[in-house]
Every structure is written in structure tokens, then in C-alpha cells.
Amino acid sequence: ELADNVKPTSAHNALTTITEDGKEFKILRDNMPFGSVA
């Protein structure tokens, strides 16, 4: 993963950074299965 100072501002993880009162919240990003076996 690129360092924050070289990461493009259009990167998905730069666009979805959530901060509140100066504190950054971590977001769970995981490919999780959904649905059922047919």
C-alpha cells in the first residue's frame, strides 16, 4: 500500500477515510461471501 503522502486523492481508501474530532476510524474491508449455495 502506498504511503499517504504519495497516494492519489482519487484512491478508494483515501476517499473513504472517516475522521471525527481528529480521530481516524478504521473500516473493515474484506471480501465476504453472501447468498447461499443453490
Q: How much is the average pLDDT of 17-33?
A: 81
Give the helix ranges, DSSP H, for the chain: 12-15
| Whole-number pLDDT of residue 30 | 78
- pLDDT averaged over the chain? 81
Per the listing, cell 474484506 goes with 30
- pLDDT at residue 14 is higher than 80: no
Q: What is the pairing mode between strands 23-25 and 18-20?
A: antiparallel
| C-beta separation of 5 from 12 below 8 A | no
pTM of the complete model beyond 0.75: no
